[in-house]
Amino acid sequence: QACTFPCQCPSQPLQCPAGTSHVLDGCGCCKVCARQLGELCSPHRPCDHHKGLYCDFSKMHRGSGICLAHEGATCDLLGRIYLNGESFQPTCKLQCICMDGAIGCVPLCSDDLRLPSPECPHPRRVKFHDKCCEEWVCEEGTDSGFGTAMAVFREDPAQKPELNNLQENCLVQTTAWSACSRSCGMGISARVTNDNPQCRLEKETRLCMVRPCDFPMEKAKKGKKCVRTPKPRQSLRFEFSGCTSTRSYRPRFCGSCSDGRCCTPDLTSTAHVEFRCPEGDFFHRKMMFIKACSCHYDCPRDNDIFLATHHRRMIGDHV
């Protein structure tokens, strides 16, 4: 009843605390900061449904409720118990949330890397006593600084790289993508590169999925020891943070090995995938697409999918 159309939303960009979702208000008009566990809520101030919270009106009056979490497992961190859906800050550098027994955290400090460059020949991270996060400081050396900075620029003694010509003179240095953070389901892979206009060493990430957690493993053909890159019979849409890819895909996944080895991606490519959220927002993320997998004995030690083949007991396991 309080909704007015056409919608009138604030012109200023929405500023929410770290780890807080942007959700539509009850009128479906404007983005608002989602209410968190234990906070007051209303149709115009909805709870953070991405974290499984809902607005309970049973114990409140005058159109207000309180955000509660659906039943789920609690989390134990350093001897302290957190409820399902509860946000907490174990250190000044992390904002975390308990979601059905699992803890997810958002870094509050930037973990970027910085490469020496003409405008900052001697970068150094400094911890200030009144600040939680370290900050980059560009120190001036006794020399011009170009000796250090030139290590990543093309050697041209006749000309020093100008600030507006950094990318042209940059010697691109890029590491290989790291292994996917999860053995099944959506994970994260990372690498470090200076392939950018500032020729600055930065960390970039991509989404990755070695295999879905409910992916049926095919049996290897007679005479073969592994199923390397099976494809799903039907196309699928990727899901990430409550949002779904706008188009469907038939990606290759890594299968299984019958001789005790593990199967991981060997050759991959990276492509942009567009996601659409329930609120109508769109965003793009880089994502890994598998071209080929290989079987080997260098298995990830923290990968639970291989525990059955290696019969390794973990600390705290019961016999």
Last residue of a domain, one of 107, 126, 160: 107
Q: How far is CA 303 from CA 26, 67, 263, 316, 319, in A?
A: 42, 35, 11, 16, 20
Task: Specify the DSSP element, H or E, that contains 310.
Answer: helix 307-310
Label residue 97 left, alpha or beta by phi (over 0 means left) and psi (-120 to 50 means alpha): beta
Flag whether 210 is in a domain.
yes
Flag whether 234 is in a domain.
yes
Secondary structure (3-state) at 264: strand
Cis omega (within 30 of 0) on the bond before 13?
A: no
What residues contact residue 156 under an 8 Å CB cut-off, 6+ apart?
169
Q: Which two tokens stand for residue 280?
A: 């109508």
Q: Which two tokens stand for residue 115?
A: 């490469």
DSSP 149: H
Residues 118, 42: Cα–Cα separation, whole Å: 53
Residues 314, 319: Cα–Cα separation, whole Å: 10
Flag whether 276 is in a domain.
yes
> How many structural domains comprise the chain?
2
Flag whether 280 is in a domain.
yes
Last residue of a domain, one of 107, 126, 156: 107
Answering whether pTM is above 0.75, one says no
Residues 289, 309: Cα–Cα separation, whole Å: 26
Flag whether 143 is in a domain.
no
Flag whether 116 is in a domain.
no
What residues contact residue 89 under an 8 Å CB cut-off, 6+ apart?
95, 96
In tens digits, the chain (319 residues) has pLDDT values of 567 778 888 888 888 887 788 888 878 888 889 898 888 888 788 888 877 788 888 766 667 888 888 777 788 888 888 888 788 888 888 888 887 787 878 888 877 667 666 677 778 888 888 888 888 888 765 454 444 444 455 555 445 545 445 566 777 888 888 888 888 888 888 888 888 787 777 888 899 998 888 766 655 555 455 555 667 778 889 988 778 999 999 898 888 777 777 888 888 999 999 998 877 778 899 999 998 888 877 665 543 333 333 333 333 333 2
Q: What is the CATH number of the domain that holds 241?
A: 2.10.90
Secondary structure (3-state) at 291: strand
Same-domain pairing of 102 and 191: no
Residues 115, 144: Cα–Cα separation, whole Å: 16
Domain hosting 204: range is: 186-296
Flag whether 302 is in a domain.
no
Nearest to 116, CA basis, from 166, 168, 178: 166
Flag whether 291 is in a domain.
yes
Task: Specify the DSSP element, H or E, that contains 167.
Answer: helix 166-169
Same-domain pairing of 193 and 289: yes
